[in-house]
Amino acid sequence: MHCHLDAPANAISVCRDAAQVVVAGRSIFKIYAIEEEQFVEKLNLRVGRKPSLNLSCADVVWHQMDENLLATAATNGVVVTWNLGRPSRNKQDQLFTEHKRTVNKVCFHPTEAHVLLSGSQDGFMKCFDLRRKDSVSTFSGQSESVRDVQFSIRDYFTFASTFENGNVQLWDIRRPDRCERMFTAHNGPVFCCDWHPEDRGWLATGGRDKMVKVWDMTTHRAKEVHCVQTIASVARVKWRPECRHHLATCSMMVDHNIYVWDVRRPFVPAAMFEEHRDVTTGIAWRHPHDPSFLLSGSKDSTLCQHLFRDASQPVERANPEGLCYGLFGDLAFAAKESLVATESGRKPYAGDRRHIFFKRKLDPAEPFAGLASSALSVFEMEPGSGSMSWFVDTAERYALAGRPLAELCDHNAKVARELGRNQVAQTWTMLRIIYCSPGLVPTPNLNHSVGKGSSCGLPLMNSFNLKDMAPGLGSETRLDRSKGDTRSDTVLLDSSATLITNEDNEETEGSDVPADYLLGDVEGEEDELYLLDPEHAHPEEPEYVLPQEAFPLRHEIVDTPPGPEHLQDKADSPHVSGSEADAASLAPVDSSFSLISVSHALYDSRLPPDFFTALVCDMLRFYAEQGDVQMAVSVLIVLGERVRKDIDEQTQEHWYTSYIDLLQRFCLWNVSNEVVKLSTSRAISCLNQASTTLHVNCSHCKRPMSSRGWVCDRCHRCASMCAVCHHVVKGLFVWCQGCSHGGHLQHIMKWLEGSSHCPAGCGHLCEYS
Amino acid sequence: MRIKGSKETLRLDKRIRVSQPLTRGPSAFIPEKEVAQANTVDERTNFLVEEYSTSGRLDNITQVMSLHTQYLESFLRSQFYMLRMDGPLPLPHRHYIAIMAAARHQCSYLINMHVDEFLKTGGIAEWLNGLEYVPQRLKNLNEINKLLAHRPWLITKEHIQKLVKTGENNWSLPELVHAVVLLAHYHALASFVFGSGINPERDPEISNGFRLISVNNFCVCDLANDNNIENASLTGGNFGIVDSLSELEALMERMKRLQEEREDEEASQEEMTTRFEKEKKESLFVVSGDTLHSFPHSDFEDDMIITSDVSRYIEDPGFGYEDFARRGEEHLPTFRAQDYTWENHGFSLVNRLYSDIGHLLDEKFRMVYNLTYNTMATHEDVDTTMLRRALFNYVHCMFGIRYDDYDYGEVNQLLERSLKVYIKTVTCYPERTTKRMYDSYWRQFKHSEKVHVNLLLMEARMQAELLYALRAITRHLT
């Protein structure tokens, strides 16, 4: 429930009996009664004709012993006490004008009826006895502004004060000369502090550095026991009654919510109240022994009562996940059980050694109990598959530009073949066929490579081999099997593929496929209907059926594996070559094969290369999806204008950046530079223009030369002289790394052609390469 | 190399021509030896310059500021951070924004400096032809630049919304905050440049042999434009010394009295309010009266200049400071300092959107506010807190920022009229500052102390601008 105030509130305080709340601000000072369903305005303390600055409150506090007694701190430095028992309309009781600057905080002694403490911007804390006209004692914070003062609840004589410079001081009320203890709690101002209502030594502080810290003051040195990182500077902090580890905070700026934290779980708030539309300026628990009601006042001119059970709990929305690499490249992944189960349709089953479900033992104090059920999967690295030498070799040997397209394709195909990557080689050859004049490719060569295609797969697929066969694979196999069935009698499919699909059938029969997952494949089934066409039609007359056949089929397979299956269908190595994943990767080869076998026929009918653009783009995407971004980028560069416009800029950019990143990881700087240079994407080509500045220091005084590269501002000497012509080098300067002599590039080159000694005459045998 | 050469000529070409200074040394107001003396002693300054200066040399501003090395460090550090370190804006943009800011006060010194830096960091030379040549996005900053420089209280969340509204030329909030910090910094720095009479930089190339053909009678910011008058006042300065001695005594006397009186004197709330209003109102007369005196022709001159060189970086050159008090008729609400303080609110916002700058600015403000050597002219062991606070709050008062806990009567007691004239000129129309104004207040005080005053004015102004701008951004966010 909430009620609208006339003006922004700066602070609120609750009466001892929890039935009334006082709201104070620059132009508001009212008491509201808290009723069942609403707040009822009971009293307006802002009386008098002219509003006085004494009424512009920075803070307000209600005495916890005497329900008639209130104190306010004014922005002009006045401390005012109010007695609700006065018969007149004006309840103002006393006025203390001792502070020179704004008073930030006032605090009543928890048990003593007449003791009031104030802390001000001028750096002083003053203790007032309400029976006297002026302060009893003054405590000096050494010229640093005081932001908060709080009497200890347990120690009769102790109070804590926090300062703008980040310090917290502990004082004994009887000893105004010096503080008992001082320590730096925060970086920047400490806006607030609160003593724990039960734990005698615990003090919570909140600062501008967005931290809430809990200090144990019982030890010799204040010890930080908990630390909560919030998202904005902390304006107020209040311990939650009856909940030892809970505290509520609100922030000074930007963030309008109120959070309740469990200090032991410092990353996610236990509860969150999101009602306010502007920063919350005051929070108070309604009753010192009731943890369920929280009151708050805000700059948006509202007063709210929050019920703890209505709070939103961010933890419910969180999806805890963990991912970690082991020392030897193993990968462990843990996620909430429900997530794993729903997303991949996988279920735990008996033979699964590595798929572990476990429940954490519940700790009664554990605030988020009941959520701790998670699934853990471990993926092992297959020995030998981690080698990426093929990548390096390919990168180095590929030709990307500078020759006619046909030659480039041939060259790259050759490279791929020599590295045993027949599918890739095949692709290159096909590209050549598509985009260059036909008839140059010897057919036997083709057949040969297709024969090998089944065992190559994409190298990146080898990276992981999931030891446990998760039933999620079912869907995948199902699809393949259906394909296998429909095509098993086509002449185009070679025997190995048939064999594989047969094996699939056996293997996947045991695993039950979730029904809903199959629904997702309806589209796939439709495509199978398409496929029926080519079967009925004789493969020898492909002119009109081929396009239909080839394209949708490929498409479907590439797009099928979502999420976790990625890893699984990458499982591809000789000894598991029977696995269904292999079939998946094989499928595109099949389709392309079918394409090739009819290529002559195609060209007879003069299909323009544009006709294939969509297909090529799909192919590129396929490679990129499979993790072989190298292929995608290389083809993109080689084909250039022919396909570029059909793939959207962002995807291209993404591929380029991934490939460049990979190249740089393998220290293939030259290749990566070439790729950058050849790229047509603006974002990529400007990579080479970034951070091109070379900073030089003067060789005499070792100072940086800022304005010009050849003369030092400081020692007015020319730093780089040519050892040959003895003039200043203003352009390219080359120097020997052995003797550090050098000069104009041209001069040095010329010199070293005739002599092997350093031109400076130092006797060093310089080398120029 | 050829490219570089052409850039060089371009740079010289784009520089705004400045008359050769009539005095030597970094400042036209301060005798060279005053600055130099302090300088030779100070190794630390050199170190700081090496560390943080963008141009790599000891410029005149730094030289003058080095009278207060402690402050200099935090100044250079924050300036370096906003110009060179991680930030949302590209380097050339930062310098261009600095140029735009300085152009609002026709501060050719800063403009020249940043034209150089702008080109050096790879800025597009064409932009220097004027605002029509820059991208719309930068041009959009004009409005806020104008308001911030002259009447920051007019900035509303609508201005912010207009800039960040999604579209082709929109600003992201971090970018905007960076820009605002730069703008405020360079407006304030322009105040310092004029307030301390910083001389144009001597170009090292020029001193290396070539001589700049001095442009006849072409004065842009003409710091020394009343040099003749100044000489006159120097001759007449003798009688001033007697005066000023007693002046100083009187000031100290007043400070002491204020300190003691504090307890007994109880001003009512109404009176406090009226005092603030009075101070606001009075600030209105302070210069307007004086301008007429000392600048019978300055407006005319300014206009001439504006149309020439500097104006290409600004729009609406006629827009200037207008007294906050005068606008009171429209009931512009007074900015209550306690409702939006730098420490609580400004810092958090600025640091959130442009990380770490908050700490640097915080340190700088704190430094300048707390800087003291406990001396006043010839007297030692004086607590100058009151004086510093009066200066700081008076500047804020002119921008309509009121501190509830400050008795504005103090301003009246502590700041004499000539000083008020100076303060108002430096913070509101810095380009009109003259040596005579500089000389006419606190005649007994050391130059370093006057530089300290300038630093206070500069920071107070910067904080005021930042507070208004950040408050608008906060309102936009909520």
- The DSSP annotation for A83-150 comes to ETT-SSS--EEEEE---SS-EEEEEE-SS-SSEEEEEETTSEEEEEETTSSSEEEEEE-TTPPEEEEE
Q: Are A92 and A119 in contact (CB under 8 A)?
A: no
Amino acid identity, position A416: A
3-state secondary structure of B304: helix
- Residue among A142, A81, A74 at smallest CA distance from A102: A74
Q: What residues contact A114, with CB distance under 8 A and at least 6 apart?
A: A129, A130, A131
> Is A74 touching B (CB cutoff 8 A)?
yes
> Is A257 touching B (CB cutoff 8 A)?
no
Spatial separation of the C-alpha atoms in residues A58 and A78, rounded to whole Å: 10
Predicted pLDDT of residue A382: 63
3-state secondary structure of B285: helix
Q: What residues contact B43, with CB distance under 8 A and at least 6 apart?
A: none
Predicted pLDDT of residue A31: 92
Taking each helix axis from N to C terminus, what angle separates A495-509 and A443-456, rounded to the nearest 10 degrees? 20
Token pair recorded at residue A511:
């695993």
Task: Name the residue facing B338 among A52, A58, A300 (closest C-beta).
Answer: A58
**B338, A75: Cβ pair inside 8 Å?**
yes
Q: CA of A693, closest CA in chain B: separation in Å? A: 10
Spatial separation of the C-alpha atoms in residues A757 and B9, rounded to whole Å: 41
> Is B347 touching A (CB cutoff 8 A)?
yes
How are beta strands A696-697 and A704-705 bridged, if at all? antiparallel
Burial of B385 (0-12, 13-18, 19+ CB in 10 A): middle
Predicted confidence band of residue A107 (pLDDT cuts 50, 70, 90): very high
Spatial separation of the C-alpha atoms in residues A124 and A146, rounded to whole Å: 7
Block residue for tokens 């913070």 = B427
Percent of residues in chain A assigned helix, strand, coil, to nearest 5: 30, 25, 40
Q: CA of A718, closest CA in chain B: separation in Å? A: 14
Average pLDDT over residues A32-43: 89
| Long-range contacts (CB closer than 8 Å, 24 or more residues apart) made by A15-19 | A15/A62, A15/A67, A16/A62, A16/A63, A16/A64, A16/A65, A16/A67, A17/A67, A18/A286, A18/A287, A18/A290, A18/A293
Percent of residues in chain B assigned helix, strand, coil, to nearest 5: 70, 0, 30
Predicted pLDDT of residue B237: 38
> Is A26 touching B (CB cutoff 8 A)?
yes
CA Rg value for chain A: 39
Tell me the C-alpha to C-alpha distance, in Å, between residue A2 and each of A42, A238, A626: 15, 20, 56
Residue of B2, B11, B348 to mutate, testing the A interface (most A Cβ within 10 Å of its Cβ): B348
**A75, B272: Cβ pair inside 8 Å?**
no
Taking each helix axis from N to C terminus, what angle separates B237-264 and B385-398, rounded to the nearest 10 degrees? 100
Token pair recorded at residue A716:
């007015």
**A252, B352: Cβ pair inside 8 Å?**
no
Q: CA of B327, closest CA in chain A: separation in Å? A: 23
- Residue among A183, A137, A136, A142 at smallest CA distance from A160: A183
H or E segment at B92? helix B91-104
Task: Name the residue facing A707 among B56, B272, B474 (closest C-beta).
Answer: B56
Block residue for tokens 């009066």 = B390
Q: CA of A102, closest CA in chain B: separation in Å? A: 6
> Is A266 touching B (CB cutoff 8 A)?
no
Q: CA of B120, closest CA in chain A: separation in Å? A: 8
Q: Are B236 and B227 in contact (CB under 8 A)?
A: no
> Is B329 touching A (CB cutoff 8 A)?
no
Q: Are A764 and A738 in contact (CB under 8 A)?
A: yes
Greater pLDDT, B125 or A451: B125
**A254, B349: Cβ pair inside 8 Å?**
yes
Amino acid identity, position A499: L
**B344, A277: Cβ pair inside 8 Å?**
no
Other beta carbons within 10 Å of A81: 20
Amino acid identity, position A249: T
> Is A279 touching B (CB cutoff 8 A)?
yes
The partner residues of B402 in beta bridges, in order of sequence, read B336
Give pLDDT tens digits for A651-689.
Answer: 888 888 888 888 888 888 888 888 888 887 777 777 776
Block residue for tokens 């740079």 = B11
Judged by phi (left if over 0) then psi (alpha if -120 to 50, else beta), residue A670 lies in: alpha
Catalytic amino acids of B? 107
| Long-range contacts (CB closer than 8 Å, 24 or more residues apart) made by A662-666 | A662/A391, A662/A629, A662/A630, A663/A395, A666/A388, A666/A391, A666/A392, A666/A395
Predicted confidence band of residue A482 (pLDDT cuts 50, 70, 90): very low
Token pair recorded at residue B108:
């050719």
> Is B338 touching A (CB cutoff 8 A)?
yes
Q: Are A13 and A22 in contact (CB under 8 A)?
A: yes
Tell me the C-alpha to C-alpha distance, in Å, between residue B371 and each of A192, A447, A618, B385, B426: 28, 86, 69, 9, 20
> Three-state SS string across A512-528, please?
CCCHHHHHCCHHHHHHH
- Residue among B82, B26, B92, B93 at smallest CA distance from B52: B82
Block residue for tokens 């190559």 = A456
Spatial separation of the C-alpha atoms in residues A557 and A592, rounded to whole Å: 13
Give just the sign of the alpha carbon dihedral B98, B99, B104, B109: positive
- Residue among A145, A236, A229 at smallest CA distance from A191: A236
Q: How many CB pairs under 8 A join A and B?
A: 87
**A77, B405: Cβ pair inside 8 Å?**
yes
DSSP state of A544: T
DSSP state of A468: S
How are beta strands B379-380 and B375-376 bridged, if at all? antiparallel
Q: The whole model's pTM is what?
A: 0.64
pLDDT in tens, chain B (478 residues): 344 444 555 555 566 655 555 556 777 787 777 766 555 556 777 777 777 777 667 788 888 888 888 888 889 889 989 988 888 888 889 999 999 999 888 888 888 888 888 888 888 888 888 888 888 888 888 889 988 988 888 898 899 998 888 777 888 888 999 999 999 999 999 999 998 888 887 654 433 333 333 333 333 344 444 433 333 333 333 444 445 567 777 787 787 777 776 544 455 566 667 777 777 666 666 554 344 343 333 343 444 444 446 677 777 777 777 776 655 555 667 788 888 889 888 898 898 888 889 899 999 998 988 888 888 777 878 888 888 999 999 999 888 888 888 888 888 888 888 888 888 888 888 888 888 888 888 888 888 888 899 999 999 999 999 999 999 998 888 7
Q: What backbone phi and psi angles, to 5 degrees, belong to B161?
A: -60, -40
Predicted pLDDT of residue B286: 59
Give just the sign of the alpha carbon dihedral A97, A99, A100, A104: negative
Task: Name the residue facing B269 among A53, A233, A730 (closest C-beta).
Answer: A53
Spatial separation of the C-alpha atoms in residues A527 and A530, rounded to whole Å: 5
Q: Are A248 and A297 in contact (CB under 8 A)?
A: no
- Residue among A555, A501, A546 at smallest CA distance from A527: A555
CA dihedral A373, A375, A378, A379 (to 10 degrees): -150
> Is A50 touching B (CB cutoff 8 A)?
yes
The partner residues of A414 in beta bridges, in order of sequence, read none
Amino acid identity, position A466: L
Give pLDDT tens digits for A366-418.
Answer: 444 445 566 777 777 666 555 677 888 888 888 888 888 888 888 888 888 88
Task: Name the residue facing B348 among A53, A252, A256 (closest C-beta).
Answer: A252
Tell me the C-alpha to C-alpha distance, in Å, between residue A512 and each of A157, A347, A465, A474, A666: 73, 10, 21, 7, 43
Q: Are B392 and B460 in contact (CB under 8 A)?
A: yes
**A74, B344: Cβ pair inside 8 Å?**
no
Give pLDDT tens digits for B193-227.
Answer: 998 888 887 654 433 333 333 333 333 344 444 43
Half-sphere exposure of B200 (CA within 13 A, CB side): 24
Q: What residues contact A32, with CB distance under 8 A and at least 6 apart?
A: A3, A20, A21, A22, A23, A39, A40, A41, A42, A303
Average pLDDT over residues A714-741: 77
3-state secondary structure of A271: strand
Half-sphere exposure of A503 (CA within 13 A, CB side): 14
**A707, B347: Cβ pair inside 8 Å?**
no
